[in-house]
Amino acid sequence: MKTMEGEKKISSAIVRRLPRYYRLLQRMREQGRERISSGEMAQMLNLNASQVRQDFNNFGGFGQQGYGYPVETLYKEVRRILGLDREHRVVIAGAGNIGRALSGYPGFAQQQFRILALFDVNPSLVGTKLPNGIPILHIDDMADYIRDNAVDVGVLAARRSVAQSIADTMVEAGVEAIWNFVPMDIRVSVPIENVHLAESLFVLSYRMQEQEKKIQK
């Protein structure tokens, strides 16, 4: 097995597939499976087997011809590659619907993303706690909080008009990545992942309409 230094440059298409492998391996592991073939993984993920094999070759292999992959080893390796083997410390800017839903999102805690606090300006929210105990603090205190608590991930769930400036504050205060739920392009010097719900909904709407046109023909 190659070491970190031996890994090839990974394409963004593979990076997008990695979470799906991880999810599948997690499930196989829970079910007590010891080995899994590239063909089976491919079938379950709607990929083709040679692509699966090629993807894992990029990380230095693991498989043995005809025996499939060892689930536990592969799971741990994918987890390490994804950086999920260590805790992340998270704050959320915006305690509206999205911010609050995210703070109750079980996927966070399961994957060692620990939400420490939400930040907002709404006086009826600031100073209160969510049912799960997470405090809502004033946005003006966010930068200090990030520094004092070694926060490494900032979640943007604030209004569009303030989102860029909150992102700038987060990065200045030391976050290493931003998870953005605000429907706009935020420019920062750290990695950023966008979840644009409206855009996903628009694509769905488009595809419904295309489907209807097909049926009408």
Q: In whole angstroms, how close is the CB of 20 to its own copies at the nearest point? A: 7
183 vs 168: CA distance, rounded Å: 17
Distance in Å, CB of 70 to its own copies, minimum: 21
Place of tokens 């750290």: 190
Q: Closest Cα partner for 88 from 50, 115, 123?
A: 115
CB-nearer residue toward its own copies: 140 or 202? 202
Rounded distance, CA 182 to CA 180, Å? 6
Nearest approach, Cβ of 113 to its own copies (angstroms)? 7
Least spacing, CB of residue 177 vs its own copies, in Å: 4
Query: Residues 143, 149, 152, 153: is their CA dihedral positive or negative?
Result: negative
Q: Toward its own copies, which CB reaches closer, 75 or 113?
A: 113
Our separate counts of H helices and E strands in the chain read: 9, 8
CB of 27 or CB of 141, closer to its own copies: 27
Nearer to its own copies by Cβ, of 34 and 212: the residue is: 212
Burial of 158 (0-12, 13-18, 19+ CB in 10 A): buried
User: Distance (Å, rounded) from C-alpha 198 to C-alpha 98?
Assistant: 13
Query: Residue 210 Cβ, how far from its own copies at the closest point, in Å?
Result: 8
Cα-based angle 142, 146, 147 (whole degrees, multiple of 5): 120
Residues that bind its own copies in the complex, under the rule CB under 8 A: 4, 15-16, 18-20, 22-23, 44-46, 81-84, 88, 97-98, 100-102, 104-105, 107-108, 111, 113, 152-153, 176-177, 179, 183-185, 190-193, 195-213
Residue 2 or 197 with smaller CB distance to its own copies: 197
Instruction: Give 65 or 216: the residue with its C-beta nearer to its own copies.
Output: 216
Nearest approach, Cβ of residue 140 and its own copies (Å): 25
3-class secondary structure, 102: helix
